Amino acid sequence: MSHLATVSMASPAMESLYPQKDMTLNKRDGFEDLMEERRHSSDLRYAMRCYTPVLYKDLVPRTPSALRSIVLKSDQVQYVIKQLSKETGESPDIISDEASDILEKMGHGLRLSVVRFFAFALSKIFKALFQKVRVNEEGIHKLHQAIQEYPVVLLPSHRSYIDFLMLSYIMYTYDLCLPVIAAGMDFMGMKIVGEMLRMSGAFFIRRSFGADKLYWAVFSEYVKTILRNGDAPVEFFVEGTRSRTGKSLIPKLGLFNIAIEPFLMGEVFDMYLVPISISYERILEESLYAHELLGVPKPKESTSGLLKARKILSENFGSIHVYFGQPVSVRSLATGTVRRSQYNLVPRHIPRKPSGDVYRFLDAVGHRMVMLQQKNMVISPWALVATVIIQNLPSLPLSDLTRQTLWLKAIAEAFGAFIDWPRNVTNDKVIRSSLALRHSIVKTVKDQVVLCQEVTPAEFTVENIFKYTVSVLMCASYRNQILHVFVRPALVTIAFQNAHSCRREDVYSCFSYLHKVFSDEFIFLPGDLVKDFDEGLYLLVKSGAIQGSHTQIYISEKGGVTISFLSDMFRPFLEGYQVICKYLQCTEHTDHFTEKKFISEIRSYAAENILTGAIKYNEVLSMDMQKNALAALARLGAMEKLKIANGNVYKVNKQAVTKVANMLAPTIPVKNATAARL
């Protein structure tokens, strides 16, 4: 008997992981609406008020130009300049000039006058766009204290371009030191706006550095110098980019490693990581994201594009909740986990890659920060409504939608979700209001709720399928906002169904495989497989869906509805991965193929099968799912990933692909890929 038998089906210790009802009420009551005061007082007076931010206790004030000079003269940058001079034969002065040019393009140029302009302009914009901007003041108070004690790294979730503007606006409102923000170089290309962003605290970096040693040295030293001195909180998105799907993304560790290195090298006693959860009732880019997921190129950031987007000011985007999490001490995370003494073996100015234990530490902390972001997300009623709609396509009666949404709300709250359900408003009105706010996604026809882009069987063409899928992906992006609440119990449910066994060991074995397959889709803390299984099992027991002993698991008499709903919630991912496996099994691959060609061909193949009715879920057309599936198959050995001069190519291992397909679920009856070729 394995270790699984030692954990109780409903361990009391686990109950502390999930908030009780009174804690949920406290969380709700702890939010303050920033827009309330803005709607009743002068925006100009607000922008021009006395701004006296709290600062780091050991701060030695310096100008942005002085900061750039310190970076350029640093041991690390000078070492890399000398090394490159030896390697290339170029004069150190020429390379130094190049480093100076990088710094000029990269560095922020914070000016209070520009900050005040943005405070005034954003007040006008936010009042037009949002009904409320709600902030947890307890988190603000803790951040106020943290900034004074140690260098601070702000780690917000990333769902919209509004994110970094909103955070700076909030920091200004509460007299907190404005952060310096890592922004993509494409923003710098925006005339006037790019420079204004720089003067508001943004510093610009390339999307990728490749093997550019000088750029990496300048960039890393710039960030570390700001943190060592405590000039300002450093803000970046640990997910790396905006999530187009509404799900959290796997953390990117490059900038994360740079930010934590001053502590690992003993240059600061401690640092604080502050996870920040930004929850949108309606996302400005919802339509843009859906089109991007179907292969439409992302529009280039430009001032003209920004001006054309003014029409959105007439739209209603509901409310935003911004939750500042508990500052997390890096020192407490590292104690007993990582050996900092290794940094004493090599001079500190010599660049190095993180060792195995440091990388594992960074990976674990990165995942933990994203999970803390998820934990403090505020779920809108629409996320529940969208979940019910997406599982009942093409339509369902409004009365059924209301009933199922209320049932889902009860389950979600039992599982620990914070639902921002309006008080003193009838449930029917809450549902109707949610539908009205998403008039671009859904509509009500003769008391039936349908997607705006309806497609009847007579209209089924590839073009119409993609138009319909835009609405599907927009709706699914809001369902995706709550998947982290259900993913563990849902995977236990699917494992129970796929295992065809009541033995706990068999269910765990199947869960373990699903957990591994979908680790690119959902956030799991590395090394927490058993804990994730026990959590999922505990929540299913708590909801009354299953019962059993240490060795056996059974569906309860009333558990069928919950089991069915949870498995259907994640069915699009199961089917999507199966379709991709089926395509790879049925297609003859005579040579290696690129990711770009794979995505193009699988999209055509999936669209054909949707037309014939062989595939139920249009989400397989999403580029995000296709890329995640490709990464999972490579990780599982079903695809061999090979590096070439221009990137990566893949080679199929059909036997391994068949094993993955068989482990996911019964075979999906899709036609052979006779026309599609890689």
Sequence-distant (6+) residues with CB within 8 A of 491 are 511, 514, 515, 518, 532, 536, 570
Please name every residue paired with 156 in a beta bridge, in sequence order, or none if there are none.
Answer: 276
Q: Cα 121 to chain center, whole Å? A: 28
Would you state the structure tokens that stand for residue 88, as one six-digit string? Answer: 């290339």
pLDDT digits 0-9 by tens, 423-447 = 899 999 999 999 999 999 999 999 9
SS3 for 166-183, per residue?
A: HHHHHHHHCCECCCEEEE
Q: How far is CA 61 from CA 58, 75, 306, in A?
A: 10, 21, 35
**Residue 486 buriedness (CB in 10 A; 0-12 / 13-18 / 19+):** buried
Q: Tokens 């349908």 correspond to what residue? A: 450
Please name every residue paired with 275 in a beta bridge, in sequence order, or none if there are none.
Answer: 155
At 649, is the pLDDT very low, low, confident or very high (cuts 50, 70, 90)?
confident
H helix intervals, 30-111: 34-38, 43-48, 64-73, 75-88, 92-106
Determine the Cα–Cα distance for residues 372 and 17; give it in Å rounded to an integer.
12
Q: What is the mean pLDDT of residues 290-304?
A: 78
269 touches 151 (CB < 8 A): no
Would you state the structure tokens that stand for residue 548, as one six-digit string? Answer: 């059993």
Angle between helices 571-586 and 654-664 (to 10 degrees): 150
Would you state the structure tokens that stand for residue 184, as one six-digit string? Answer: 């993509």
Query: Which amino acid makes up residue 244?
Result: R
CA-derived radius of gyration, the chain: 26
Q: Tokens 């701060």 correspond to what residue? A: 59
| Among 453-462, 515-524, 581-590, the least confident range | 453-462
Determine the Cα–Cα distance for residues 378 and 384; give it in Å rounded to an integer.
12
pLDDT digits 0-9 by tens, 4-50 = 433 333 333 333 333 333 444 455 568 999 999 999 999 999 999 99
| pLDDT > 70: percent of the chain | 90
Q: What is the mean pLDDT of residues 570-586?
A: 93
pLDDT at position 2 over 60 = no
- Which H or E run contains 445? strand 442-445
Q: What share of the chain is helix, strand, coil (3-state, %, to 5)?
A: 55, 10, 35
Write out the DSSP string of 296-359.
PPPPPP-HHHHHHGGGGGGS---EEEEEEPPPEEHHHHHTTT--GGGGGSS-TTS-----HHHH
Determine the Cα–Cα distance for residues 579 and 583; give it in Å rounded to an integer.
6
Query: Which amino acid makes up residue 317?
Result: F
Would you state the structure tokens that stand for residue 543, as one six-digit string? Answer: 């909801």
Backbone φ, ψ for residue 546 (5° rounding): -135, 165
Angle between helices 162-173 and 112-129 (to 10 degrees): 110
**448-456: long-range contacts at Cβ-Cβ below 8 A with a sequence spacing of 24 or more?**
448/395, 448/396, 448/397, 448/398, 449/389, 449/395, 449/396, 449/397, 449/398, 449/401, 450/394, 450/395, 451/389, 451/393, 451/394, 451/475, 454/394
pLDDT at position 221 over 70 = yes
Residue, of 592 and 468, whose pLDDT is higher: 468
Q: How much is the pLDDT for 306?
A: 55
Omega before 394 within 30 of 0, i.e. cis: yes
Q: Could you give the angle at the alpha carbon of 546 between the alpha carbons of 543 and 551, nearest 5°?
A: 135
Q: What is the mean pLDDT of residues 504-513?
A: 94
Q: What is the mean pLDDT of residues 532-561?
A: 91
Would you state the structure tokens that stand for residue 229, as one six-digit string? Answer: 């001195």
Q: What is the mean pLDDT of residues 596-605?
A: 91
Would you state the structure tokens that stand for residue 50, as one six-digit string? Answer: 């006395």
| Among 382-386, 402-406, 488-492, 589-593, the least confident range | 589-593
Angle between helices 462-479 and 381-390 (to 10 degrees): 140
pLDDT digits 0-9 by tens, 43-86 = 999 999 999 999 999 888 899 999 999 999 999 999 999 999 99
pLDDT at position 226 over 70 = yes
Based on DSSP, count helices (H) and strands (E) in the chain, helices before strands.
Answer: 29, 18
Count of CB atoms situated within 10 Å of the CB of 329 = 17
DSSP assignment letter at 620: G
At 176, is the pLDDT very low, low, confident or very high (cuts 50, 70, 90)?
very high
Q: What is the mean pLDDT of residues 102-111?
A: 91
Q: Taking every pair of C-alpha atoms in the chain, what is the biggest distance, in angstroms?
A: 79
Write out the DSSP string of 390-432.
HTSTTEEEHHHHHHHHHHHHHHHHHTT-EE-PPTTS-HHHHHH
Residue, of 299 and 450, whose pLDDT is higher: 450
Q: How far is CA 257 from CA 63, 240, 253, in A?
A: 26, 13, 6
Determine the length of the chain: 678
Decide: helix, strand or coil at residue 16. Answer: coil
